[in-house]
């Protein structure tokens, strides 16, 4: 004997946070490299300067990527669809 149950489920699109964060990290790294190449110090040392820029820009990029994902998630949360789903179980 099979028994069918019909329930209502909510479906919405939600962003994946990791790709947003990784995109922010990549953009932050690119910005750090561009800044490092465009800024020259008086003594000509750029290795420590690049490391500091990378640390700050990578962290800032990751944070901005997650913030973009949260904003995108809040915008898509309004578009929720209700659908009928049926669960079939047999004994």
DSSP string, 8-23: EEEE-----HHHHHHH
**pLDDT value for 1:** 46
User: Is 19 buried (19+), middle (13-18) or exposed (0-12) by CB count in 10 A?
Assistant: exposed
**pLDDT value for 91:** 58
The domain locations on the chain are 17-74
- At residue 22 the predicted structure's pLDDT band, cuts being 50, 70 and 90, is very high
Calpha distance 19→8 (Å, rounded): 31
Average pLDDT of span 47-67: 89
The answer to pTM > 0.75 is no
pLDDT at 64 over 90: yes
Backbone angles phi, psi at 36, to 5 degrees: -65, -40
């Amino acid at each position: 004997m099979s028994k069918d149950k019909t329930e209502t489920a909510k479906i919405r699109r939600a962003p994946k946070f990791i790709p947003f964060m990784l995109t922010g990290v990549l953009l932050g790294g690119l910005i750090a490299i561009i800044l490092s190449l465009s800024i020259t110090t008086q003594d000509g040392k750029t290795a420590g300067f690049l490391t500091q820029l990378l640390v700050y820009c990578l962290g800032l990029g990751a944070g901005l990527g997650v913030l973009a994902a949260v904003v995108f998630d809040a915008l898509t949360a309004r578009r929720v669809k209700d659908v009928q789903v049926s669960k079939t179980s047999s004994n």
